[in-house]
Amino acid sequence: MRKLIALALILLTGCASLPGATDAPRANLPDKGQAPELTNETWLNTEAPLRLADLRGKVVLLEMWTFG
């Protein structure tokens, strides 16, 4: 378990200077430009509305739900 946690920390910090580390191949995806700003008014489990500028530089997982 400790090895798994250490590996996760290395991957999250972007450390590629480990012996034997190689650059992974990049996906050949088109550039779609910048993401549009999050403009909804209702947020669950947050104190204030989220904005992309506030999330820059962080690993973010967005889970979208629709009610209706």
Q: How far apart are CA 13 and CA 10, in angstroms?
A: 5
The domain limits of the chain are 39-68
- pLDDT of 18 reads 55
% of the chain beyond a pLDDT of 70: 66
Task: Please choose, from the candidates 35, 61, 40, the residue with its C-alpha nearest in 3D space to the C-alpha of residue 50.
Answer: 40
- pLDDT of 35 reads 84
pTM over 0.75: no
Residue range 7-36, pLDDT digits in tens:
555 555 555 555 555 667 778 889 998 888
Task: Please choose, from the candidates 27, 26, 7, the residue with its C-alpha nearest in 3D space to the C-alpha of residue 18.
Answer: 7
The predicted model gives 51-55 an average pLDDT of 86
